[in-house]
Amino acid sequence: MAYRDLREYLAVLENKGLLCHIEAEVDKDWEISAVCRRTFRSIPERNRPALMFDRIKGHDIPLVVGILGGSREIYATALETEVGNVLEKWESGTKNPLKARLVKSAPCQEVVHRGAEVNFEMLPAPVWTVGQDPGAYHTSPFVISKDPETGIPNIGTYRVQVKGRNRAGLMINPPRNMNQHIRKNEARGQGTDVAIVFGTDPVLGLTSVTPFPYGVNEFEIAGGIRREPVDVVRCLTVDLEVPATAEIVVEGRIPFQGREPEGPFGEYGGYMGAAGTHPFIEISCITHRKKPIYQAFLSQMPPSESSCIKGIGREAVILRHLKNNLGIPVTDVYLTESGGATGMLIIAMKKQNRFQPLKAMMGAWSLHDVFGKVTIVVDDDIDIRDSFQVEWALSFRMQPAEDVHVLNNTDPLTLDPSQPWKDGKPVLPTEQVSSKVGIDATKKHAFPPLAVPPREHLEKVDAQWERYGIRALKRNAK
Ligand SMILES: Cc1cc2nc3c(=O)[nH]c(=O)nc-3n(C[C@H](O)[C@H](O)[C@H](O)COP(=O)(O)O)c2cc1C
């Protein structure tokens, strides 16, 4: 049965022990970011909980974070599936889309603030990179707009800057679908209606951060994955429909040619992204459920929620391409958290001939221009999610003069600050060129036996570990 709303989903996370409540009061203007950073960096991905900050200083709305991408298990729970089944689940939605169902009244409009009552600052948006971001930011908005010709809506996550009681900034990268709505509206001399939604059933949230071709209706994809239509209700002040069970909806309009400075903002690679000129929104109405819950994503320095969300979908696509399209005996693929699920790719394979590692690198690089600036191929006995094992393979199964392949003139990753400068100055994103390195760390000939205790001895020690009384030393997290 599909989750009806965020609340039902949070109850499931709670039952599975995947949600941790923070009962201590926290300050959204510095503390939430620091607590999230410590949590994500000090707790390994497979043990990491989602967080619910129950008490936020000066606000009566709690904040949840990590509830879609705190870990792979959480992501799979959001899709009501297992980690290994994620791609199939997405495909079930794209193959069997279900139209949204229009309802007349909805929980998301239980409380309505219009006119002078509108106060965008009522929401507990944190300051994420204190001292560098210009202020509070919404990192998990599901932004809805529609094509003025076809009426087909789009949902996308584009960060929203808090600019006052009834003003917001929106950072939409050039390839994003919503830009086409703005362009089409402006060609007709008009502004663009926008609804910013916070806190929905988790499937809708995941469709918001997942790229689909222009014209694909995310409400219908979400309906297909849920096997139940998404209920929508008409907005009160703009010509849009929003998820009926959403926690909070902010309605507004980007005025015709409405642009102003936005940013800078901490980016997913761990460095600050530059400020720019981007659309702003004039907010006309805020509606919400009684006792609403606010959702945020942790982004910025990896590990983050955004690296987990991006990684899990991308890995499934690469694995399928290498195995099914290219026939390479790849057993696992990992876009590391430290590489923001983009920069570093590790591939494990049951190699049948010496050409396959290079073929796998080339296959991954040609599938998507920015994946795997550093790509490492190892044998299938290496657990590619264990960096120690990967570094061991690099150290003892690889000869730099023979096993390192550099590919020049590749597409750049524009948020990568290592992008070379020209004449002492940064190069414009449109003129950047990058390169890639592939390292074949598979065995090339017969190796000596491993120098480790027999497996049965290690298993026996594991089974009676308590008997030895060995404990890790307690140290402060860095
Ligand atoms: C945590 C997170 C934050 C994101 N922030 C932005 C952003 O500020 N601007 C942007 O253009 N894309 C951002 N993205 C990527 C888009 O959400 C993603 O490409 C999505 O597919 C966009 O929807 P669209 O394809 O319908 O345009 C973000 C993704 C994640 C996971």
The pLDDT value given to residue 369: 80
Is 154 a pocket residue for ligand 1 (Cβ < 6 Å)? yes
Q: In 127-149, which positions are buried (b, 16+ CB within 10 angstroms) versus exposed (e)?
A: bbbeeebbebbbbbbbbbbbbbe
Question: Which residues lie below 8 Å from residue 305, measured CB to CB, with a gap of 6+?
Answer: 40, 65, 66, 68, 69, 70, 297, 298, 299
Task: Say which range, 114-123, 359-368, 422-431, has the weakest mean pLDDT.
Answer: 422-431
- Four-point Cα dihedral 298, 299, 302, 304, nearest 10: 30
Domain identity same for 192 and 252: yes
The pLDDT value given to residue 93: 87
Candidates 382, 370, 365; CA nearest to 416 is 370
One-letter amino acid for residue 193 of the chain: D
8 Å CB contact between 243 and 204 = yes
Candidates 110, 114, 206, 229; CA nearest to 156 is 206
Is 209 a pocket residue for ligand 1 (Cβ < 6 Å)? yes
CATH of the domain at 345: 3.40.1670.10
54 Rama sector, left if φ>0, alpha if ψ -120 to 50, beta otherwise: alpha
159 CA → ligand 1 middle, Å: 8
415 CA → ligand 1 middle, Å: 14
Helices then strands, counting H and E runs in the chain, come out as 12, 24
**Which residue shows structure tokens 């008997």?**
467
How far is it, in rounded angstroms, from Cα 351 to Cα 331?
Answer: 10
Q: What value does the mean pLDDT take over residues 147-160? A: 97
The pLDDT value given to residue 475: 77
- Structure ipTM: 0.99
Domain identity same for 103 and 209: yes
The pLDDT value given to residue 67: 98
Domain assignment of residue 321, yes or no? no
Domain identity same for 123 and 250: yes
Is 58 a pocket residue for ligand 1 (Cβ < 6 Å)? no
Is 125 a pocket residue for ligand 1 (Cβ < 6 Å)? no
Is 415 a pocket residue for ligand 1 (Cβ < 6 Å)? no
Is 273 a pocket residue for ligand 1 (Cβ < 6 Å)? no
What is the position in ligand 1's atom list of the atom closest to the CA of 69? 31
One-letter amino acid for residue 386 of the chain: D
Domain identity same for 350 and 221: no
What is the position in ligand 1's atom list of the atom closest to the CA of 299? 1
pLDDT score of 477 more than 80: no
Candidates 154, 150, 146, 142; CA nearest to 217 is 154
Domain identity same for 182 and 278: yes
- Say whether 150 sits in a helix, a strand or coil: coil
442 CA → ligand 1 middle, Å: 36
pLDDT score of 59 more than 90: yes
Is 211 a pocket residue for ligand 1 (Cβ < 6 Å)? yes
Is 182 a pocket residue for ligand 1 (Cβ < 6 Å)? no
Domain assignment of residue 472, yes or no? no
399 CA → ligand 1 middle, Å: 40
Domain identity same for 160 and 262: yes
Q: pLDDT tens digits, residue range 13-58?
A: 999 999 999 999 999 999 999 999 999 999 999 999 999 999 999 9
Is 158 a pocket residue for ligand 1 (Cβ < 6 Å)? yes
pLDDT score of 461 more than 80: yes
What is the position in ligand 1's atom list of the atom closest to the CA of 172? 11
Nearest CA to ligand 1 atom 23: 156
Is 176 a pocket residue for ligand 1 (Cβ < 6 Å)? yes
Domain assignment of residue 138, yes or no? yes
Q: Which of 209, 216, 298, 368 to mutate to test the pocket of ligand 1 (most atoms within 8 A of CB)?
A: 209
Is 280 a pocket residue for ligand 1 (Cβ < 6 Å)? no
Mean pLDDT of the chain: 95
Instruction: Look at strands 374-379 and 434-440 and give their pairing.
Output: parallel
8 Å CB contact between 349 and 331 = yes
Domain assignment of residue 320, yes or no? no
How far is it, in rounded angstroms, from Cα 147 to Cα 144?
Answer: 10
Is 157 a pocket residue for ligand 1 (Cβ < 6 Å)? yes
Q: Which two tokens stand for residue 82?
A: 């297992």
Domain identity same for 292 and 336: no
Question: Which residues lie below 8 Å from residue 37, measured CB to CB, with a gap of 6+?
Answer: 298, 300, 301
Q: What value does the mean pLDDT take over residues 306-319? A: 88
The pLDDT value given to residue 175: 86
Domain identity same for 331 and 264: no
211 CA → ligand 1 middle, Å: 8
Residue finishing a domain among 296, 318, 348 = 296
Domain identity same for 167 and 77: yes
Return the DSSP state at 341.
Answer: T
Nearest CA to ligand 1 atom 13: 158
Domain identity same for 131 and 16: yes
Strand order in the sheet with 344-349: 330-335, 344-349, 374-379, 434-440, 404-410
Instruction: Look at strands 160-162 and 167-170 and give their pairing.
Output: antiparallel
Q: What value does the mean pLDDT take over residues 380-391? A: 97
**Which residue shows structure tokens 């790719």?**
345
Domain assignment of residue 123, yes or no? yes
Is 297 a pocket residue for ligand 1 (Cβ < 6 Å)? yes
What is the position in ligand 1's atom list of the atom closest to the CA of 304? 1
180 CA → ligand 1 middle, Å: 15
What is the position in ligand 1's atom list of the atom closest to the CA of 178? 27
Q: 355 — phi, psi (to 5°)?
A: -85, -20
Domain assignment of residue 370, yes or no? yes
Peptide bond connecting 292 to the previous residue in cis, omega within 30 degrees of 0? no
Is 172 a pocket residue for ligand 1 (Cβ < 6 Å)? yes
CATH of the domain at 17: 2.30.110.10
8 Å CB contact between 329 and 88 = no
390 CA → ligand 1 middle, Å: 31
Residue finishing a domain among 252, 276, 296 = 296
Q: Which two tokens stand for residue 246?
A: 């959403």
Domain assignment of residue 92, yes or no? yes
8 Å CB contact between 374 and 407 = no
Q: Which domain holds residue 102?
A: 6-296
How far is it, in rounded angstroms, from Cα 198 to Cα 330?
Answer: 39
Is 156 a pocket residue for ligand 1 (Cβ < 6 Å)? yes
Nearest CA to ligand 1 atom 19: 211
How far is it, in rounded angstroms, from Cα 450 to Cα 333?
Answer: 24
The pLDDT value given to residue 83: 87
Nearest CA to ligand 1 atom 7: 158
Q: pLDDT tens digits, residue range 250-264?
A: 999 999 999 999 999
8 Å CB contact between 184 and 272 = no
Confidence of residue 478 (pLDDT cuts 50, 70, 90): low
Question: Which residues lie below 8 Å from residue 381, measured CB to CB, with a gap of 6+?
Answer: none
Task: Tell me how many domains the chain contains.
Answer: 2
Q: Which of 158, 212, 337 to mutate to test the pocket of ligand 1 (most atoms within 8 A of CB)?
A: 158
8 Å CB contact between 315 and 281 = no
Q: What value does the mean pLDDT take over residues 89-111? A: 95
Domain identity same for 284 and 343: no
Q: In 34-64, which positions are buried (b, 16+ CB within 10 angstroms) versus exposed (e)?
A: ebbbebbeebebeebbbbbbeebeebebbbb
Candidates 441, 373, 384, 430; CA nearest to 407 is 373
The pLDDT value given to residue 62: 98
How large a percentage of the chain has pLDDT more than 90? Answer: 88
Candidates 15, 84, 9; CA nearest to 295 is 9
Domain identity same for 285 and 407: no
Domain assignment of residue 347, yes or no? yes
